[in-house]
Chains A and B, each alone.
Chain A
Amino acid sequence: MATITLDTVRKVYAGDVEAVKGVSINIADGEFIVLVGPSGCGKSTLLRMIAGLEDITTGEIKIADRLVNNVDPADRDIAMVFQNYALYPHMSVYNNLAYGLKNRGMKKAEIDRRVKEAARILEIGEYLDRKPRALSGGQRQRVAMGRAIVREPAAFLFDEPLSNLDAKLRVQMRVEIKRLQRSLGTTSVYVTHDQLEAMTLADRLVVLNKGQIEQIGSPIEVYDNPASTFVASFIGSPAMNLLEVKAGEAGLGLAKGTGLSAPNPHGKPAYKLGIRPEHLHVVDGQTVPDGHLSITATVNVLEPVGAESFVYASFADGGPEIVIRVSSHARHQPGSTLQLTADPANLHYFDPENGQRLTG
């Protein structure tokens, strides 16, 4: 167990490609940090730098207050779980778990105790004699985690460990990873491009984009107060509606199209206005309260997903399309007109130029 500190870590590849641009994160002892972002955002590179599999161009990485920039991966006291499991195909499950311990010159009895213990926790006891190829994807994933657990490392590093599993198993393993991390209390850094996985697992999320941190915060913080349009559109499914608006005579209106009016609390001429699909409410026969968002839009598609439904509707006069979350009982016919509103507290204003959130 340990803290991990990243101080303006940069990674520049040959040919001046800057994959990671000065990232600083302080990870507390026992914390579960999820690095999330689209592919190519540098999250895997960052993780591999913590693991020691990539050199650090500039900056410092400390694990348990020890500078590890030039420390070998094996001596960093970390364990890593790979996307394709990276189990040794010719070794039995037992030997896969034991290999790292043997290399450290651990006593046979102690290795045996740790392997058995990990097998018990992960319920892979009956497969110990099998080769990885005789196991299913989920079982292999457990073995890969077992290999990390037996080491009793200062930190776990996960590199998209669930993306090779089918949807059902992914949910199951997600819960299991979380439970395991809680019970072991080991500092963990987890990389994923799946925002749902990120939300459910993280103590704190680190949203990365183009090698830079967009936002760090607890999942709810990030969800409720996205720091930029990038975070707003990346976290949450379906994504937050982002509308280009400009100031008119009566509050804000759409930059293109008609059917929206919104308050203008920051007194600027233009914004990107963000509204989550679940914060839009259908107003039936009532008037929209003063100072609330008011939207008139035409239904395009009703998309039921079971517990809820999503309405895709567009503004008149060539305006953009928006998504509204409604109850599964709603029956909005395509072509019908909806009157919508939202609480001003749930409106997100972003700078139209740099996409940063406007506060105050």
Chain B
Amino acid sequence: MNRLKLSDHLILILGVLFMVSPVVLAFITSTHDALTIFRSGLQFTPGDQMVENYRKVMFEAGGFTKQVDGWVMLQNSLILGLGFAIGKIVISMLAAYAIVYFRFPLGSLCFWIIFSTLLLPLEVRILPSYEIVQSLGMVNTYSGLIVPLIASATATFFFRQFYMSVPDELLEAARIDGAGPWKFFIDILVPLSKTMIAAIFIIMFVFGWNQYLWPTLITTDESFFTLVRGIRQILQVWVGSQIPDYQEAMALAIIAMLPPVIVVVIFQSWFIKGLVESDK
């Protein structure tokens, strides 16, 4: 039994090392200056440039136009991540509500059409999507960044399954209690879906935060750049004999990681509940 436990721990520790060490390395490296990194690669001991480096990426405007600093990119990323997650949850909850609780013609066909879009990732439909957004004049806007992505087959599917597991009697009791469709949704279904919402919020927030391709296409104005794009932008600056600012890229990567980590830490207990609990 004890030996089994020891090997269990060993595997877990290995797993942790495997996942955390790149992050730690990135963080340590981000505390050095560009020259050191360029000369001797990744650093394994902390340097003395940490405050300077982080100040620079956060508050010193960079890029071609010298208009956007890390702080603005962080805000953009937050707007994208939150808009993306909240939008997806709202839309898919309503869609699932319609599919499960209302008998309308071709209802199940609608569901299967939504469901089949799971098979079509963004990359497949990126050109038509871009064309539509572009012709609507939504390029370089937050709504252009968020709205085309908020329809979610995955979330709709999860909510549908969840609603279908809610006993019919609950709906009937609410009907007798004088709750109309909206009241039932707001008063009963939404609170019941709380853990489900938390779980999907985490997944979708991280997913939205890490979006790269779509923001790259849809925003050309640097004031709309997200953190994920910003990292690339830093490495792209090869002007003359300039050394790429690896330390800044590392620092920005660390900053870009923090909000998703915070969201996961805050919501994780709900997240696990949402996945395992059947509290109805």
B177 x A133 contact (CB < 8 A): no
Complex interface: stretch among A26-34, A98-106, A216-224, A230-238: A98-106
Complex interface: stretch among A86-94, A207-215, A261-269, A345-353: A86-94
B71, chain A: closest CB distance, angstroms: 39
B183 x A103 contact (CB < 8 A): yes
Which chain B positions have C-beta within 8 A of A86?
167, 169-170, 172-173
B186, chain A: closest CB distance, angstroms: 12
B280 x A103 contact (CB < 8 A): no
CB of A38 closer than 8 Å to a CB of B: no
A90 x B169 contact (CB < 8 A): no
Which chain B positions have C-beta within 8 A of A75?
178
Please give me the residue from chain B that is nearest to A81 by CB atom.
B173
Q: Can you list 6 A-B pairs, Cβ within 8 angstroms, ordered by A?
A: A53-B172, A53-B175, A73-B172, A89-B279, A91-B191, A99-B174
Give the bracket for the number of chain A residues in contact with chain B.
20 to 34
Give the bracket for the number of chain B residues in contact with chain A.
10 to 19
Known interface pairs A53-B175, A74-B177; 19 further A-B residue pairs with C-beta atoms within 8 A, sorted by A's residue number:
A51-B172, A72-B175, A74-B175, A74-B179, A82-B173, A86-B169, A86-B170, A86-B172, A88-B188, A89-B192, A90-B192, A91-B191, A99-B177, A99-B179, A99-B187, A100-B177, A100-B178, A133-B279, A147-B177
Q: Which residues of B contact A (CB under 8 A)?
A: 167, 169-170, 172-179, 183, 187-188, 191-192, 194, 279-280
Contact of B176 among A80, A87, A90 (CB under 8 A): A80
Q: Report Cα–Cα, A103/B178, bound state, in Å.
A: 6
Are A90 and B175 also in contact (CB < 8 A) when A82-B169, A133-B279 are? no
Q: Report Cα–Cα, A347/B254, bound state, in Å.
A: 91
Q: Report Cα–Cα, A111/B219, bound state, in Å.
A: 55
Please give me the residue from chain B that is nearest to A72 by CB atom.
B175
Please give me the residue from chain B that is nearest to A85 by CB atom.
B169
Residue of A51, A82, A104, A133 ringed by the most chain B CB atoms within 10 A: A82
Residue of B167, B177, B191, B280 ringed by the most chain A CB atoms within 10 A: B177
Please give me the residue from chain B that is nearest to A133 by CB atom.
B279
A-B contact count (CB 8 A): 62
Which chain B positions have C-beta within 8 A of A51?
172, 176
Which chain B positions have C-beta within 8 A of A87?
173
A79 x B280 contact (CB < 8 A): no
Which chain B positions have C-beta within 8 A of A78?
176
Which chain A positions have C-beta within 8 A of B173?
80, 82, 86-88, 147
CB of A296 closer than 8 Å to a CB of B: no
Q: Report Cα–Cα, A84/B279, bound state, in Å.
A: 14
A82 x B178 contact (CB < 8 A): no
A79 x B176 contact (CB < 8 A): yes
B178 x A84 contact (CB < 8 A): no
Which chain A positions have C-beta within 8 A of B178?
74-75, 100, 103-104
Q: Report Cα–Cα, A74/B279, bound state, in Å.
A: 26
A100 x B176 contact (CB < 8 A): yes
Q: Report Cα–Cα, A72/B176, bound state, in Å.
A: 8
B279 x A73 contact (CB < 8 A): no
Q: Report Cα–Cα, A72/B173, bound state, in Å.
A: 13
Q: Report Cα–Cα, A70/B179, bound state, in Å.
A: 17
Question: What 7 A-B pairs come out closest when comparing CB atoms?
Answer: A100-B177, A86-B169, A74-B178, A103-B178, A86-B173, A90-B191, A82-B169
Which chain A positions have C-beta within 8 A of B280?
89
Please give me the residue from chain A that is nearest to B179 by CB atom.
A103
A82 x B172 contact (CB < 8 A): yes
Q: Report Cα–Cα, A86/B173, bound state, in Å.
A: 6
Please give me the residue from chain A that is nearest to B170 by CB atom.
A86
Which chain A positions have C-beta within 8 A of B169?
82-84, 86
Which chain A positions have C-beta within 8 A of B188?
88, 90
Residue of B170, B173, B194 ringed by the most chain A CB atoms within 10 A: B173
Q: Report Cα–Cα, A48/B13, bound state, in Å.
A: 59
Which chain B positions have C-beta within 8 A of A83?
169
Q: Report Cα–Cα, A104/B177, bound state, in Å.
A: 8
A90, chain B: closest CB distance, angstroms: 4
Q: Report Cα–Cα, A74/B178, bound state, in Å.
A: 5
B175 x A73 contact (CB < 8 A): yes
B192 x A74 contact (CB < 8 A): no
Which chain A positions have C-beta within 8 A of B175?
52-53, 72-74
A157, chain B: closest CB distance, angstroms: 9
A118, chain B: closest CB distance, angstroms: 14
